[in-house]
A and B are shown apart, each in its own frame.
Chain A
Amino acid sequence: MLDDVDKRLLRQLQADPSVPLTELAERSKVKVGAAARRLEKLAAQGVLKGQHMVIDWSALGYSVEVSLRFTLDKTQSTAFDEFLAAARLIPEVVAIQTFLGVVDVRLSVVAKDMAHYQKLYRDQILVLPHISELEALMHVATIKSSDSLPI
């Protein structure tokens, strides 16, 4: 299991992923060599999987973001697989999540404007297989997006 030093390192790294190692070690109150070894170990254990850059789609002109929540027709056993395979082919889909609950699948979709969204919705979303119910939440603003774990 992780000890307090590991937790401090991960907490600091989450808060500021681009911080240089020496600075990260200092903020976590651990020597640089020890910090490097610990991060390596966390990576080897699969706890620390890597880093990625988040693309701000609105900066590229995709000002519309919609959460599409689907309930699928589960009388067919292949419904999930076929739906997900088809959804992956739509370029404007930026995230796919599956759920246990009222909603089965959620797609995050970006579009340049409402006209683009409407075309996308008609031509690509509504033709997805095995949709039983579909409802849209229009994204207004992101209030918090840390995605940090409360380690």
Chain B
Amino acid sequence: MIEIDDIDRAILATLSRDATQSAGAVGKALNMSQPATWRRIKKLQDSGVLARRRVDLDAQKLGFGVTVFLGVKLATKGRVSLEDFERAVTAIPEVQTVQHVLGLYDYRLRVVARDVSDFERVLRRRIMTLPGVGNVEANVLLSEERCLGPL
């Protein structure tokens, strides 16, 4: 864990909105030189705070009309290996995110599909056939917004 100051916070806020800006452009908005800004960005990258870059694509325009979050409860805990389930679920291309959680469910999956019938295909052929799957709850995503977070 690293300590960051207000300038670091401003850089994080800028880059979490738009990662395509150069260090010079980010620095200019903060009244800082290009090299000084670059050093700070480098430090934030090296410490893992700036984890990775993401491309923002319009899923609808690319023909992916439906995003569904699935809560998955494993049926026979103890007998089914978590590794087997995780390996199989990770390999499904339509599954964008897999999170191991504690609570009502064991895993939370983010699944993208072309439409509802395509989602049904993914659910029946891919998800329900995973090793150890028990109860599955589905919620269809209507809207999504990223927030700045505690900066």
Contacts and interface: CB of A to CB of B under 8 A. Distances in A.
Given A52-B19, A94-B147, A99-B142, A47 B48 contact: no
A36 interface: no
5 contacts: A52-B19, A53-B52, A59-B2, A67-B101, A100-B140
> Interface size for chain A: under 10, 10 to 19, 20 to 34, or 35 or more residues?
35 or more
B58 interface: yes
A118 to B, nearest CB: 16
B100 A57 contact: no
Interface in B3-58: 4, 12, 15-20, 47-58
> Interface size for chain B: under 10, 10 to 19, 20 to 34, or 35 or more residues?
35 or more
Interface of A: 2, 10, 13-14, 17-18, 45-57, 59-62, 67, 88, 91-103, 106, 110, 135-151
A53 B57 contact: no
B122 to A, nearest CB: 10
B119 interface: no
B117 interface: no
Contact of B51 (A14, A59, A149): A59
